[in-house]
């Protein structure tokens, strides 16, 4: 959640951020009223509790009628204190619940608008002209079947629509991508991790995934646990309820994990192959730092993602995501989109988000420096989403005979070329 002082001292800034997202500003007025009620209830509780404490000091010294009156007043105050405490708790809960509905304050530097209003920051590489090469490109599923790498029919048989098996060189390709991605992240200073894929509700709510994305997560009611849609969730909660020392920052983690998503609202879209699925594996980068270093760290995350795509020799572009297309937690987000030949367009393969203090306030993660403690800033960035990266590698590296040329970084694992099965 945001700093309540911003709401109190500069509500117009909050309204402006809501407008940038295309969201209603009514919640700002509701929050201001709820905050006033919360602070009023605190003052009321402290007043009656203070009177109760003072009477407790006077009673031992009083005698006769005065003592009787004081005892009677003490009894009255006892109930008033209970009522005031209950009212204070209720007001605080109402304010907190409303605050959790408010998104992070979208940066004024982000382009304004919706999903299609992004700004292209850079384009790298040139998509191949398959017509000039004399053949029609096959899509990733046809290539995957020719290579014995992807089996969606049995995935659907065993688990349902939008599930799959990676087989043979498909499985080897994911393992190679994982090894290279984790090794690169370690060289950049990230601590490699394999986190749990099941988390408690606080971890999911603390990262903002029970807000606008609530319909997209899988919940195990019997166990009161959620399957994560990204390892951002367990990485953000890793230091929950902790105080980090400023001199030890930034703390950088890179995690490999499965990711589970209902893909709510995407029915009928990208259903062929493994582009939009209910489960995929991913290597995710996550950073804890201070607020004043968050923007610079955001640029560094993007730089590492670009280094990765350069190593994979993929044509891609970088976009600055519009404010209306940001997630609940981010103030700004950069996406890297790889060229997908058979779709004739760039599609997202990674993203980097600056969440400032939004998640750390929910998860109570603070930084201790020379001037005391303050909430940490958190950032996250995809390094390698396996299925979409495999799609991009197969389609961009394909040859007329159905073989696929691999980037040099993968040659030690799979050789230079993946060849169709006989």
Who contacts 119 (Cβ-Cβ below 8 Å, separation ≥6)?
A: 111, 319, 320, 322
- Concerning whether 388 is annotated as a catalytic residue, the answer is yes
Is residue 340 within 8 Å of residue 392, measured between CB atoms? yes
Query: Which ranges of 148-243 does DSSP label H, i.e. alpha helix?
Result: 152-159, 169-187, 201-206, 232-237
**Residue 263 in marked binding region:** yes
Residue 93, annotated as binding a ligand: no
Catalytic residue among 39, 202, 276, 419: 276
Q: How far is CA 66 from CA 63, 78, 187, 345, 395, in A?
A: 6, 18, 77, 86, 91
46 annotated ligand-binding residue: no
User: What's the longest Cα–Cα distance across the chain?
Assistant: 109
277 is in an annotated binding site: yes
Reference 231, options 263, 264, 207; nearest CA is: 207
Residue 159 annotated as binding site = no
Q: Which residues contact 60 (CB under 8 A, 6 or more apart)?
A: none
User: Which of 41, 353, 388, 395 is the catalytic position?
Assistant: 388
| Beta partners for residue 260, in sequence order | 279
Q: Catalytic pick from 107, 351, 353, 360?
A: 351
Q: How far apart are CA 289 and CA 4, in angstroms?
A: 21
In the block, residue with structure tokens 């029919």: 153
Question: Cα Rg for the chain, rounded, in angstroms?
Answer: 27
Is 107 part of the annotated catalytic residue set? no
Q: Is 348 annotated as a binding residue?
A: yes
51 is in an annotated binding site: no
Q: Are 28 and 8 in contact (CB under 8 A)?
A: no
Sign, Cα dihedral of 399, 402, 408, 409: positive
E-assigned strands of 195-278? 198-199, 218-220, 225-227, 242-245, 251-260
**Residues paired with residue 79 on neighbouring β-strands, in sequence order:** none
Query: CA-to-CA distance for 144 and 404, rounded, in angstroms?
Result: 10
Burial class (CB in 10 A: 0-12, 13-18, 19+), 133: exposed
Q: Is 119 annotated as a binding residue?
A: no
Spatial neighbors of 62 by CB under 8 A, at least 6 apart, are 70
Residue 262, annotated as binding a ligand: yes
What residue has token string 């040329």?
Answer: 405
> Is 261 among the residues known to form the active site?
yes
Catalytic residue among 15, 348, 403, 419: 348
> Is 362 noted as a catalytic residue in this protein?
no
Query: Residue with structure tokens 């201790």?
Result: 368
Does 49 appear as a known binding residue?
A: no
Is 351 labelled as part of a ligand binding site? yes
Q: Of these residues, 162, 261, 332, 362, which one is catalytic?
A: 261
348 is catalytic: yes
Tell me the binding residues for L-serine. 230-232, 284, 382
Active centre residues (catalytic): 261, 276, 348, 351, 388
Tell me the binding residues. 230-232, 261-263, 277, 284, 348-351, 382
Tell me the binding residues for ATP. 261-263, 277, 348-351
């Amino acid at each position: 959640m945001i700093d309540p002082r911003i709401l109190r001292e500069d509500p117009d800034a909050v309204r402006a951020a809501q407008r940038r997202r295309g969201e209603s500003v009514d919640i700002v007025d509701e929050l201001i009223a709820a905050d006033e009620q919360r602070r009023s209830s605190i003052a009321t509780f402290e007043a009656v509790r203070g009177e109760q404490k003072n009477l407790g000091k006077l009673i031992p010294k009083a005698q006769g009628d005065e003592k009787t009156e004081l005892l009677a007043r003490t009894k009255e105050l006892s109930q008033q204190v209970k009522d005031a405490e209950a009212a204070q708790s209720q007001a605080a809960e109402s304010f907190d619940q409303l605050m959790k509905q408010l998104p992070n304050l979208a940066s004024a530097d982000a382009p304004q608008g919706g999903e299609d209003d992004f700004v292209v920051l850079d384009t790298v590489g040139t998509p191949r002209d398959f017509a000039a090469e004399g053949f029609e490109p096959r899509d990733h599923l046809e290539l995957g079947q020719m290579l014995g790498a992807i089996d969606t029919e049995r995935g659907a048989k065993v688990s349902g629509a939008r599930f799959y098996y990676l087989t043979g060189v498909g499985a080897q390709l994911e393992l190679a991508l994982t090894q290279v991605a984790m090794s690169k992240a370690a060289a950049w200073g990230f601590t490699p991790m394999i986190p749990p894929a099941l988390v408690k509700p606080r971890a999911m709510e603390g990262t903002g995934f029970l807000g606008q994305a609530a319909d997209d997560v899988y919940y195990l009611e019997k166990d009161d646990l959620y399957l994560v849609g990204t390892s951002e969730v367990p990485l953000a909660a890793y230091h929950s309820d902790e105080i980090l020392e400023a001199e030890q920052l930034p703390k950088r983690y890179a995690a490999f994990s499965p990711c589970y998503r209902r893909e709510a609202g995407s029915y009928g879209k990208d259903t062929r192959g493994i582009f939009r699925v209910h489960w995929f594996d991913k290597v995710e980068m996550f950073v804890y730092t201070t607020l004043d270093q968050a923007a610079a760290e955001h640029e560094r995350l993007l730089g590492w993602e670009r280094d990765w795509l350069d190593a994979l020799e993929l044509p891609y572009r970088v976009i600055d995501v519009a404010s209306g297309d940001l997630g609940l937690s981010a103030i700004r987000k950069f996406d890297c989109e790889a060229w997908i030949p058979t779709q004739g367009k760039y599609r997202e393969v990674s993203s980097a988000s600056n969440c400032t203090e939004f998640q750390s306030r929910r998860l109570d993660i603070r930084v201790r420096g020379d001037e005391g403690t303050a909430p940490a800033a958190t950032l996250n960035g995809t390094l390698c989403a396996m299925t979409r990266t495999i799609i991009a590698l197969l389609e961009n590296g394909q040859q007329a005979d159905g073989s696929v040329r691999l980037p040099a970084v993968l040659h030690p694992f799979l050789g230079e070329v993946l060849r169709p099965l006989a």
